[in-house]
């Protein structure tokens, strides 16, 4: 386990609280130390711990920390999640506080395997079981009618709950260890402030949340997220499934499995399900994202590598495929903010694969309030 790590000196987020609780360490502290008289002592303020090498022992500690009611940010194959014991109301309340998220937005409960599904949900349609058997562990969340274990503080008062088995060795080991210690599931939204871009690396989690986490909270480092976009969310509370949020498990993969034409939420008019990912504005960097128009010198640019960079424009990412685009998109949007760009022009990918999810996130990132 690593010692306390200072938060980054330039996290690119000028909007966050820079009060006494966020005195910078490292270089800035040296400067402060040189200026102050010996009467004042500048100490390192305790902040959360980052575990950079996850071993069986550190994951056991992390699971115990969850059982004790602390928060643990952990890697998944989609994006990093901010985890808490899904049955512990005060721990779950901390998630909402740290994210600055409205409490009526439900959380996804992560479990170690399909065998534990019935702890959380009931009346599982046959098609949902097929989906779970085919795509778990993996980047897919199923919304199903809840059991009594899923309390209002998880579901935002809805009678259903979102469940996912993630496909990341650290996430799965943490979940298994948590269950071995008596836990039922880990509630985890993406580990970013509400409405912001999801983190795909441990540095992103730090940049988003270091000022809000407590000394007892942990961040587990699992490298870069493989998929880079949040899970596909499928409503399974009705006779037919509906995609609420597109992701790496695509409509055509679902159609092939179930032999149906699955609907997307944008085509469904009557569904009464709350999902913050369904808000028009979400996944937003500070820079304004444009999906059309021509960039001027000094603007940021995101497009597949086959599109040349216009003169004087700052290339943020240059992915060779839609899969690579998904993996690097949030990195590119964050880079725009670190470079303090005010405008990013994007050429969205086309196709019915993960390009659909990329376009969904880009439209939300580009939304003007």
CA dist., res. 164 & res. 339, Å (int): 35
Residue from 78, 201, 322, 328 touching ligand TXA (CB under 6 A): that is: 78
Burial of residue 309 (CB within 10 Å: 0-12, 13-18, 19+) is middle
> Pick from Mg ion, ligand TXA, none: which does 7 bind, CB < 5 to 8 A by kind?
none
Please give the structure tokens belonging to residue 198: 């999801």
Site string for ligand TXA, 135-174 (x = CB under 6 A): ------x-x-----------x--x-xxx-x-x--------
DSSP 163-184: EE----HHHHHHHHHHHHTT--
Least distance to ligand TXA, CB of residue 6, Å: 25
CA angle 102, 220, 25 (to 5 degrees): 85
Residue 190 CA to chain centroid, in angstroms?
Answer: 2
DSSP 297-319: TT-EEE--TTSPPPTT-EEEE--
Q: Is 189 a binder of ligand TXA (CB under 6 A)?
A: yes
Kindly list the strands in the beta sheet with 160-164, ordered across the sheet, starting from the edge strand earlier in the chain.
49-51, 218-220, 72-74, 81-85, 186-187, 108-110, 160-164, 140-145, 232-235, 242-245, 263-264
Please give the size of the binding site for ligand TXA, defined by CB under 6 A: 28
Instruction: Name the residue nearer to Mg ion (CB basis): 190 or 328.
Output: 190
Q: Is 190 a binder of Mg ion (CB under 5 A)?
A: yes
Of 14-22, 23-31, 175-183, 226-234, the window that binds ligand TXA (rule: CB under 6 A) is 226-234
Least distance to ligand TXA, CB of residue 352, Å: 20
First to last CA, the chain: 43
Q: Which residues pair with 163 in a beta bridge?
A: 109, 142
* Other C-beta atoms lying within 10 Å of the C-beta of residue 281: 13
Q: Is 284 a binder of Mg ion (CB under 5 A)?
A: no
CA dist., res. 369 & res. 361, Å (int): 16
Instruction: Name the residue nearer to ligand TXA (CB basis): 243 or 348.
Output: 243
Q: Is 200 a binder of ligand TXA (CB under 6 A)?
A: no
Least distance to ligand TXA, CB of residue 361, Å: 11
Site string for ligand TXA, 281-300 (x = CB under 6 A): --------------------
Q: Is 76 a binder of ligand TXA (CB under 6 A)?
A: yes
- Which residues bind to ligand TXA, rule: CB under 6 A? 76, 78-79, 81, 105-108, 141, 143, 155, 158, 160-162, 164, 166, 188-190, 230-231, 233, 273-277
- Which residues bind to Mg ion, rule: CB under 5 A? 190
């Amino acid at each position: 386990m690593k010692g306390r790590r200072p938060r980054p000196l330039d996290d690119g987020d000028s909007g966050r609280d820079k009060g006494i609780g966020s005195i910078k360490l490292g270089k800035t502290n040296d400067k402060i130390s040189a200026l102050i008289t010996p009467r004042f002592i500048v100490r390192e303020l305790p902040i959360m711990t980052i575990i950079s090498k996850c071993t069986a022992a550190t994951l056991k500690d992390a699971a115990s920390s969850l059982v004790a009611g602390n928060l643990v940010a952990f890697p998944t194959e989609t994006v990093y999640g901010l985890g808490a014991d899904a049955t512990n109301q005060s721990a779950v309340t901390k998630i909402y506080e740290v994210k600055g998220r409205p409490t009526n937005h439900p959380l996804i409960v992560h479990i170690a395997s399909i065998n534990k599904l019935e702890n959380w949900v009931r009346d599982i349609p046959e098609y949902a079981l097929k989906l779970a058997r085919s795509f778990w562990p993996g980047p897919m969340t199923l919304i199903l009618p809840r059991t009594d274990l899923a309390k209002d503080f998880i579901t935002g008062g809805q009678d259903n709950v979102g469940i996912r088995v993630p496909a990341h060795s650290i996430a799965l080991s943490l979940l298994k260890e948590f269950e071995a210690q008596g836990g039922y599931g880990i509630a985890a939204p993406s580990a970013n402030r509400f409405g912001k871009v999801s983190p795909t690396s441990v540095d992103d989690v730090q940049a988003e949340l270091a000022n809000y986490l407590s000394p007892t909270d942990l961040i587990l480092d699992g490298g870069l997220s493989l998929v880079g976009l949040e899970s596909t969310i499928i409503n399974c509370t009705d006779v037919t499934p509906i995609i609420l949020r597109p992701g790496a498990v695509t409509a055509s993969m679902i159609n092939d499995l179930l032999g149906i034409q699955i609907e997307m939420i944008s085509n469904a008019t009557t569904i009464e399900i709350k999902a913050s990912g369904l808000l028009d504005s979400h996944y937003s960097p500070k820079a304004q994202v444009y999906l059309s128009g021509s960039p001027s010198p000094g603007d940021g640019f995101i497009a597949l590598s086959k599109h040349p960079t216009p003169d004087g424009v700052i290339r943020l990412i240059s992915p060779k495929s839609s899969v690579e685009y998904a993996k690097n998109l949030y990195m590119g949007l964050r880079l725009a903010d670190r470079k303090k760009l005010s405008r990013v022009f994007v050429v969205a990918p086309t196709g019915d694969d993960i390009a659909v999810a990329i376009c969904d996130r880009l439209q939300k990132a580009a939304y003007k309030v």
